[in-house]
Every structure is written in structure tokens, then in C-alpha cells.
Amino acid sequence: MGKTMNQMAIALDLQNELKRKVGLAILLIAGLSASISTFIHYQQPDSDLSRLLPPLLFAITSFGASAYLGRKVSNIRLISATILGLSALFIFLPSFLRTIYAFASPSIALVNTYPPLTGVLLLWPTTVLIFVPPQHRLATMSAGCLFGVVPILSYLVLHPVELQSPRGIDLLISLGPTLLGQIMMVMFYSRLQDLLDKLSAERLQYYSKVIEEQAIRQAAMEQAFTQFHNGPLQSLAILLRDVETELGESSSLFQRLAQLNTEFRGVGQGLTQDALWNAAEKKGERWRNATLPGVSTNTWQNQMPIVSATLQLNPELRLDLSWPLHRLLHNVYSATLKRDLPYFQTIKVKVRNFQPLEDVALTVDTKRDICLWLEEALCNVGKHAQNATRVQAIGEYQNGRYHLKVQDNGIGLIASMNKWSGDRGTKLSDRLATRLGGTFHRKSLAKGGVRCELSWPLNAPDEIEAI
């Protein structure tokens, strides 16, 4: 959950930085507009102090606030409060007072004395949308309309002569249907933003749950390897020492035991956190080189994955599980047939054909398990397929299903195949087939040999090409 909160904080920081820049731009534009208004009023001979003073103060305050907030303040709440406060003081308050003054003075026509604030009032809903939290938007817009719009519309309704003038019609249309439409759009986008925020929160919670599950699995794997290291590996080390003493390092038994020791330790190291973290560092380097404005490098480093999406076949080969499935299967096939297994030595013909497929629905764990299934099926050929001269590994798309098959031409199924494995491979294959919604079959062939086949349903790919 802490990682989820960290990711949400990053998004919020970026959003606040953007709001800060927009807020400063609004203050600068407001100051410039007020300066132009002051200059125009100053050029008019009949301008009084009530027309000259408000825009002048507005310009000074806007420029001063933008200078102060731009250099010393990054608090988006203070910037938002400044913009809303200046709007209330220099836009809504003068508009309200002039309207009340026109109500109280029959000789004063509002359409002749009302300042050009219509465009600013129309920008009010947009300003509220940007700077006001969703839960306060309706109340803020209602307050603005109550003091800035309702008095003007009421005045025009009660003074039909002014309403029928060009300026009266402009005020009625601008502050009536047009402003109402903008308010409805603001409420719509507020609702849409709320839905998007909920979806984002759900997605982040899902990722957090996945990461927590991976952390639990990682801890379990490390604990299992620690127990394996402190028990069987120590016994194997003692056995290696005794064999070396009695038979020497050149003996076949010693070399095979040494190879077994290396393989055990390689698998264990591949499951530990350090090895997985080193693999993740390569991906993390791209993140560190692509740091976004306003986000520190340390923040991106904290987003490093806990478990790397890789599969280590041997100490020298680690596969990236983001690759397409057919590419992974090709690498597993090539690496497995290079292993020193007795009946691989008699193989003369090696056939492989893995057709591409749309594997977007396959998770990283599922692709890992499929690759391990292929590795075990090929290892069974190397361990049990006596007299085999041919091995085939085929992955093909047929009738809405993907069929992954390993076949040899050895002596077929024999009772000794499960003597040392305890039939664990068959149980794991059945479990994988169940997860995929497919089937697993293993049978002897009439002409000799064994076929292991894993198949599962898929959506039809756009294009199937043989390797």
C-alpha cells in the first residue's frame, strides 16, 4: 500500500506543478489586462476615480502576487486562494456594487456604466474547474453566480428598456444560457474526473496487491533456498570432497556431481533478491534517464520492481519474459538441447517450429510456466528417450487453440521414467493446463517414441507465421 501511495503522490505532484504554472500565467494575464484597462480609462476625459482605481489596484496586486508566488511559493492551495481572492475582490465585488448602485439610482443605466467584465465572468467556471477541489466546485460557482450574475440578470428583467438594448441583450445571452452551459460542462467534467480518479486508484491498488504478493513469494523462495543451502547442498559438498579424495577431480562421477552442485547453486542464486534486482537495474536505468520535471531521481528509483520479469535457464542465460512467447520458446529449446543429458547425444534430427500468437492475455507467470514446461519436456527426452534419433518441438495454432508438442522416436513410456521424479512433472503439467483452460496429454506412439502435448484456447491472431 505504501508503494501505491508513493505513485499517487508522484501524479499529484505533477498535477500541482502544472496548476502552479497555469495559476501564475493567469495572474500575469490578469495584471496585463488590468494595466490595459487602466491606460484606456486614463485616456478618457470623463473617467472618474471609481473607474481608474480598481483596475490599477488589480494590476499592481496581480503582478505583485505573481512575482511573490513565482519565486517563493510552491503551495498550490495558496496560489488558488490568491486567484480566487483577487477575483472576488476586483471582479465580483465591483460588479455587485455597480449593479446595486444602478438599482438604487433610477437615473443610472447599468448597460452604460457596467465595466467590460462579461468575458471574465465567463472564465469563472473554468477557473473553478482548475483550482477548486471537486467537493467545493458547486458551492464556489453558486457563490460567484449569486454575487456576479443573478443581480445583473434581475436588473435587466426589471428594466425592459435596457434589456432590449444591444448591450443588454449581450449581457443576457452571455450571463444566461452561455454561462449556464459552461457550468453544466464543469459539472460534467468534474464527474468524469471523479470516475477517472476512482479507476486510477483501483488500478494502483491492483498493482500494489500484485507487488505485495510478489514480495511474499520472493521471501518464501529465499527462505526455501536458505534451507536448501544449509541442508542438501552442504551434504552434496561433503560428498564432492569425499569423491575427490577417493577418485580424484578427473573422475566422471566427480565432474557430474560438480556440475550438479553448480546447477543447484545457479538456480538458488536466480531466486534470490540480489540477482533479480540486478536484472531489474537494467530496466530502471531507462527510468532514471527519463526523469520527469518536478520528480526527483530517487522517486523513480523507488519504483523499481520487486521481482524481475525474467527466467533464468542457466547461470549464463536469462530470458526477458516481456518477449513474445514464440521467441521465448525458441530460446528455451536451443538452450535445453545444449545440456549434457545422455540421450541428447544420439539425436541426429532436431525439428522446431513455434508459430507466433497473440499472447497479450498471457501473464508473465504464465509465460514462465509454459517455458518451464517445454524445458522439462525436452529434458525428459534427454533423460529417458533411449535410442532416440529425432526430437520435435512444435507450437502451432489449430482450430482456435494453441498446441505445444514435444515428440521423440525413442523406446516410448517406461516404468522407470517416474522412479526418480515421483510423477511431479505430470501433476505440474495438469495444473498448468487447468490454469490455461486447456488440456495436457502424454502418450506412447505406435511407431515408438513419446508425445507430450499442452494445448489451450486462444483468440485468433491476426497473422500466423512459421519461424
pLDDT digits (tens, 9 = 90+) for 129-174: 888 888 888 888 888 888 888 999 999 999 999 999 998 999 899 8
Distance of CA 100 to the CA centre of its chain: 54
Question: In this model, does residue 77 exceed pLDDT 70?
Answer: yes
List Cβ<8 Å contacts ≥24 apart for 396-399.
Answer: 396/353, 396/355, 397/355, 397/357, 397/458, 397/460, 397/461, 397/464
DSSP 315: T
In this predicted structure, what is the pLDDT of residue 354? 94
In this predicted structure, what is the pLDDT of residue 189? 85
State the average pLDDT over residues 230-259.
85
* Cell numbers found for residue 273: 533478491
Q: Mean pLDDT of all residues in the chain?
A: 79
Rounded CA separation 162/173 (Å): 14
Which among 260, 277, 258 is positioned nearest to 318, based on CA atoms?
277
Instruction: Pick the range with the lowest mean pLDDT from 53-57, 148-152, 285-289.
Output: 285-289
Rounded CA separation 150/377 (Å): 79
367, 329 in Cβ contact below 8 A? no
pLDDT band, residue 286 (cuts 50/70/90):
very low
Describe the strand order of the beta sheet including 390-398 as a list of residue ranges.
349-354, 390-398, 401-408, 450-457, 439-444
Amino acid at 123: L
Place of cell 496585463: 32
Rounded CA separation 258/264 (Å): 10
State the average pLDDT over residues 436-450.
90
Rounded percentage of the chain residues whose pLDDT exceeds 90: 18
Other CB atoms within a 10 A radius of the CB of residue 15 amount to 12
Question: In this model, does residue 366 exceed pLDDT 80?
Answer: yes
Domains, the chain, with CATH or none: 2-201 (no CATH), 311-467 (3.30.565.10)
pLDDT band, residue 459 (cuts 50/70/90):
low
Which among 204, 185, 184 is positioned nearest to 196, based on CA atoms?
204
- Classify burial at 103, counting beta carbons within 10 Å of its beta carbon; exposed 0-12, middle 13-18, buried 19 or more: middle
Distance of CA 88 to the CA centre of its chain: 40
Instruction: Pick the range with the lowest mean pLDDT from 173-182, 319-328, 415-424, 436-445.
Output: 415-424
pTM, to two decimals: 0.48
